[in-house]
Amino acid sequence: MLIASAGGEGIAQDKLGQTRVLITPQAQVLSTDHYQATASNSCSGSTCAVTFPRPGASKRLSATRVYCLLQASTSTPAFNYARVELQDSFNSLLMGQYVNDVFKSASGTFTLNSPIDFQVPAGQHLAVVISLTTANADYAFCTISGTISTLG
């Protein structure tokens, strides 16, 4: 079964065997500028979620790279996963992209630096979720970069 929606609003959660397709509506681009935003958050248990703001009215973000640093509470944590999520205005997951390029230091710090590909319209936003399996996460800092377009 295929679920498709322009802009992704109002899509129900996927079930096994379903495919989700998000189609960015066509719009006239008035200007495009470089975009870079940094956000941070303290963590709850073994998972950190860092949420970025929406692009704003008449804007569309084209996110192309994510960089994060996560500090664990011990020097021997085990990495579980990192995922960049496209979320709707209710913080519900629309799309996710797992990030594999993760480096762990001897002190329990993880860094990731990976290409991503998301088109984020005005009513949606990005979040980065990083999870460990064996230790508590203390805090995370993330940066998203790309371009932001003003639409007409």
Lowest mean pLDDT of 13-17, 34-38, 72-76, name the range: 13-17
* Residue positions counted in the chain: 152
Domain count of the fold of the chain: 1
pLDDT digits (tens, 9 = 90+) for 62-102: 999 999 999 988 878 888 999 999 999 999 999 999 998 88
Reported pTM: 0.82
What pLDDT, on a 0 to 100 scale, did the predictor assign at position 21? Answer: 72
Would residue 18 count as lying in a domain?
Answer: no
User: First vs last Cα of the chain: how many Å apart?
Assistant: 34
* Per-position b or e across 49-77, b if 16+ CB within 10 A of its CB: bbebebbeeebbbbbeebbbbbbbeeeeb
Rounded to whole angstroms, how far apart are CA atoms 81 and 79? 6
* CATH code of the domain containing 142: 2.60.120
**51-69 pLDDT, tens digit each:** 999 999 999 999 999 999 9
Question: 125 lies in a domain?
Answer: yes
Model confidence pLDDT, tens digit, residues 108-146 = 899 999 999 999 999 999 999 999 988 788 999 999 999
Residue 37 lies in domain: 27-151
- Report the distance separating Cα 105 and Cα 110, nearest Å: 6
Task: Grade residue 106 by pLDDT with cuts at 50, 70 and 90.
Answer: confident
Residue 10 lies in a domain: no
Buried b (16+ CB within 10 A) or exposed e, 106-127: eebebebebebebbbbbebbbb
Contact between residue 5 and residue 88 where contact means Cβ atoms under 8 Å apart: no
The DSSP element (H or E) to which 15 belongs, if any, is none
Which tops the pLDDT comparison, 19 or 33?
33
